[in-house]
Amino acid sequence: MFLYFPDNYRWSLAVLRAIAAGGMFGEIDWACSRLKQAAGQGPSGDLEAWHASWRELGGQLEAAAASAAAAGHRVSASDFSLRASVYYQWAEGLLDPDDPRAAAMYGKHLACFDAFASQSTPVVELVEIPYGEQTIPAYVVPATGSKGRGPAALLCDGLDANKEEMFYVALSLARRGITTVAFDGPGQGAALRLQGMTARHDFEVPVAACVDWLATRSDIDAERIGFVAASWGGYYAPRAVAFEKRIKACAVMGAVFDTHACMARRVGYVPGQGATQLGGNAPLGTTGKTILRILGEPDWESAFKKLEKFRLEPVAAQIDCDLMIVHGANDRHAPPSEAQRLYDAVSSKEKRLRVFSEAEGGAAHVNLDRPEPALSLVCDWMAERLQAHSGVHNDA
């Protein structure tokens, strides 16, 4: 895995995530080249310097988008807005969640993505999916060349990511004829920050609400719905399809069979002592306080008590839809054994497991060191499986 900051895994992972989400390396390098010394300060790096540099970069792109829009340059305005959204995500991402600047930066992140969505071609539809007395924030990327009812895929990320970060996956699916609905479930993105929804182990509940909503759309064939998820989504999606049988195919990029065990290893959890490794080189994408906020728990003891239910072993045999798992051989968040355990435990007749090695690339968490060809493998497989469920062959 490429470590932009050799002694700070968390910051280096953020760089790879920002590139995958649509950032430009030259812009990111402009912001991060000034942070080499800051990366080694204290246990987690100088987080104030990190915030300031990404905030400045986000501001530059936001201003460029405004200038392009004023001049009538719609494509440029859209492109600048998307990248501004990516950079503002990281201006917010490592701040204390109670810092007032966190809400301000997240607001800019959303506003810039919204500006991108409204000016993109085709237009990305921003939606709120009914969910009890609340809503599930989502966006819809329409299938390319779609005529009439077609297949759809739900899309979500993991622990500390958000739906906007997954746009590159949504676009890849849409180009293969799959209308894609990327959403923030409980504990994620806007669902957490704007509505206070914390993580829940029974992720089939919000997913059922999404499927209910999909079934009402005139452009969706409700018999051809899939689910793609990454990172902690490698727990959420398999858990959901164990119960939600309207989903015909599920693909995960980074499986998490035992979330409790994986998180205990990642934070160095010791009962009675709490998390003992939360520094910049711990295999984490965010801060310890943010993880507790996501889980809705005040301390590590209660957090790990809650995580007891975040295990797939009790329900894995109920998974019988088509299943694809891609995993990195050197994934520091969840070892390849997590993927193998999921593969072995499910009842699916159509199932595949592909582990990418260091030699070929794609060996890191969610294949972020080299996202291709893992991304295309997942999206091609999803297109094939949803086509198979229609009985209609298509070379998309």
Report the DSSP beta bridge partners of residue 274. 270
| DSSP states of 135-180 | EEEEEEEPPTT--SSEEEEEEE--SS--GGGGHHHHHHHHTTT-EE
Given a contact cutoff of 8 angstroms between Cβ atoms, the answer to whether 286 and 262 are in contact is no
Note the helical H segments in the chain. 9-20, 25-32, 47-70, 74-93, 100-119, 167-174, 189-193, 204-214, 233-241, 259-267, 288-295, 300-307, 336-345, 374-388
**CA triple 143-390-146, angle to 5 deg:** 20
Quote the tokens at residue 218: 């005139």
Name 181's bridge partners: 140, 154
Q: Which of 53, 81, 85, 231 is catalytic?
A: 231
Maximum distance among all Cα pairs of the chain, rounded to whole angstroms: 60
Q: Report the alpha-carbon distance of residue 156 to residue 46 in Å, rounded.
A: 30
The amino acid at 35 = L
Return d(Cα 46, Cα 36) in angstroms, integer. Answer: 10
Residue 231 designated active-site: yes
Q: Classify residue 148 as exposed, middle or buried by CB count within 10 Å of its CB (0-12, 13-18, 19+).
A: exposed
250 neighbors 153 (Cβ within 8 angstroms): no
Residues with catalytic roles: 231
